[in-house]
Chain A
Amino acid sequence: MPLLEISKLTKHFGGLTALNDVSFSVDRGEIRGLIGPNGAGKSTMFKNIAGFYTPSAGDILLDGESIRGHAPHEIAGRGVVRTFQETTLFQELSVFQNALVGCHLRARTNIVSAVLGLDGARQRAARQKAAEVLEFMGLSERRDQLASELPLGSQRALAVAIALASSPRLLLMDEPFAGMNPEETRQMMDLTRKVNDSGVTVVLVEHDMKAVMGLCRQITVLNFGTLLTEGSPEEIRNDERVVRAYLGGGHRL
């Protein structure tokens, strides 16, 4: 059984159809690329999976169970976590506190324990996990800095760290390479592989074709809200329809 299965997913906004009858599935342990020209429905797809939108029709199955229409925090509780398009962090908190927020699911507590300090063991475990993910993402040295003070690459890494802190099974990364220079992109690709190696399935929406082609074995292409094609990087690169779609959208492969 695939980890994630999208089945005939449709999403309307008023009279506009953002996604139309899209189906695909992602296997456990994969790094899947989700590409397509602007307005193809990639981000809408992510928001549907993560629970920020409710699909108009169709279903989303995680491990064979429907998660359609669940609230974002419930879906996160089932191990599906997303990162955001532009760098979205808790800017006023320190790097460590950011990671700590990510540990929410294991550290959440009730008010009485919080006041009386009865949840010490839980909070110690959360702090340990936060330290671990920072170490994993190479951010240990910056742990007391404010998130807003980090350079772009580290901010992206922190965004992933926050997501990892909640021990996801499936990580949805929304344009993690946008605006990065080649060196930063290379480091981020390494990190993504490292995350994947640790057992997390990754789906990423990305415009940086070099990165997508370098990371993914399977790529899904959306165009005008419909599934255009699926295949290996090689197949996608040589697919006439994909080239035409991108030319129409003003992009070049």
Chain B
Amino acid sequence: MELFLQSVVNSFIQGGFFSLWAVGLVLVFGVMGVVNFAHGELVMVGAYSIWVLHAQYGLPYIPALCMAVLLVTTIGVLMERFLFRPKREDPLGGLINSLGVLFILQVAAHVVGGTGPAKQVAPPFSGTFVIEEFLRVPYQRLFAVAVSVAALGLLWFFLTRTRLGWSLRAMAQDREAAALQGININRTSMIAIGVSGALAGLAGALMAPMTSIHPHMGHNVIITAFIVTIVGGIGSLSGAVLAAVLYAFLHTFVTAYISGTVATMSGLLIMVLVLIVKPTGIMGKRVSE
């Protein structure tokens, strides 16, 4: 019983992170048509920011988190302006540019942190929430899941209730039609990657106190985000969130009750199955005929 309850809570915490990773990737792909391979590295930069600002320079956690988000958002916006915008008609070029950024950010992390063991950040919210014999959750994790949900809620509000959000969704549906309707592609793309970067930075900053920080931590992020994106449906943000939570449940429970290796394999197999049966994903938009 304890393992079961513990796994349910673990799944939701994981689901929160998976959502933050995937939604950013989906948004950029939907709006800009670019596969941003450096997305995982953006998360990594978020985590390193916390290590530098909070753990090394002693800045309190919350301001450090805000600065991490700001920094990664800025990197994202710069990527859009100087690397993706000139390559709008050349998705393969955009892809290579994102790989270039990936290499550069990994080396930057290496320069900042050095070789040697992965970096660790002591959790600012210490202590554990305990119901004896039932459940134990560190406050740090409760904080992370609360912030993730709040951020996703805010994004949902932005996308469905504001004009800018509406233009973002219109672009994701059909870029050419959106342009014809007078939506400013440059501005919308910049907002898309800004939001994507903010979510990545937030995810990294929230993860920093609970994980090992190293220059290659983005690898796992991008692969998980791909799986979630495909299962959820490439054009669909709500699909991404749903798929993230489902995938987190699958991964957590298979890991807890069978093994982590089986969990990874089953994730890939489910992704292949979804691609075969319904290439547009569980919540993907229908391809118009």
Contacts and interface: CB of A to CB of B under 8 A. Distances in A.
Direct contact of A and B (CB under 8 A): yes
Interface of A: 13-14, 53
Contacts of B286: 14
A139 B173 CA distance: 41
A13 B289 CA distance: 8
Interface string B265-289: 0000000000000000000001001
Interface string B189-208: 00000000000000000000
B90 to A, nearest CB: 15
Nearest to A52: B289
**Which 3 pairs show the lowest CB-CB distances between chains A and B?**
A13-B289, A53-B289, A14-B286
Interface string B157-188: 00000000000000000000000000000000
A169 B289 CA distance: 27
Interface residues of B, number: 2
Contacts, number: 3
A53 B288 CA distance: 13
Interface of B: 286, 289
Contacts of A13: 289
Nearest to A53: B289
A18 to B, nearest CB: 9
B286 to A, nearest CB: 8
3 contacts: A13-B289, A14-B286, A53-B289
Contacts of A53: 289
A175 B289 CA distance: 19
Nearest to B286: A14
A249 B163 CA distance: 33
A236 to B, nearest CB: 30
Nearest to A11: B289
B287 to A, nearest CB: 12
Contacts of A14: 286
A53 B289 CA distance: 9
B176 to A, nearest CB: 14
B89 to A, nearest CB: 15
Contacts of B289: 13, 53
A14 B286 CA distance: 10
A55 to B, nearest CB: 13
A14 B289 CA distance: 10
A13 B287 CA distance: 12
Nearest to A13: B289
B288 to A, nearest CB: 9
Nearest to A47: B289
B285 to A, nearest CB: 13
B270 to A, nearest CB: 27
A245 to B, nearest CB: 24
B97 to A, nearest CB: 24
B126 to A, nearest CB: 55
A14 B288 CA distance: 10
A81 B160 CA distance: 46
A13 B286 CA distance: 11
Nearest to A14: B286
A13 B288 CA distance: 9
Nearest to B289: A13
A17 to B, nearest CB: 14
A53 B286 CA distance: 16
B132 to A, nearest CB: 55
A69 to B, nearest CB: 15
A81 B201 CA distance: 54
A35 to B, nearest CB: 23
A40 B208 CA distance: 60
B219 to A, nearest CB: 37
Nearest to A44: B289
